[in-house]
Amino acid sequence: MTGKGCSFLFLCLLCHTNISFHLLSDESITKHGTHCIINHIIGLAHAMGAKVVAEGVEEKEQLEFLQSVDCDMIQGYYFYKPMPAEEFVKLI
């Protein structure tokens, strides 16, 4: 979207839509250049009353960073890889 008024439209959609932000975190989440951006995205989401879900977390450093910036939910292979339903039932 480009042109006059598009930025305003985007902000209106953000403010009037009940959305949940999703962060696709990969190896780049551990690079310090992205930490500031991710921290601000999470802050914006929280200011709008949204929850933040980080997906694809595979390393301890990613988990620790996301916890330090108050990410609401974190999922990925760091915790468990896909498994048969029978194994999942045993976990819960």
10-56 pLDDT, tens digit each: 666 666 666 666 666 566 666 667 888 888 888 988 888 888 888 88
Examine residue 25 and state whether it is found in any structural domain, yes or no.
yes
Residue 66 has pLDDT above 50, yes or no: yes
In a domain? residue 34: yes
Task: Find, among 88, 5, 64, the residue nearest to 54 by Cα.
Answer: 64
In a domain, 56, yes or no: yes
pLDDT at 6 over 60: no
Counted domains in the chain: 1
Q: Within a domain: residue 47? A: yes
Q: Helices (H), strands (E): how many in the chain?
A: 4, 3
* Helix, strand and coil in the chain, % to nearest 5: 50, 10, 40
pTM confidence score: 0.71
In a domain, 69, yes or no: yes
Which residues span the domain enclosing 63? 21-91
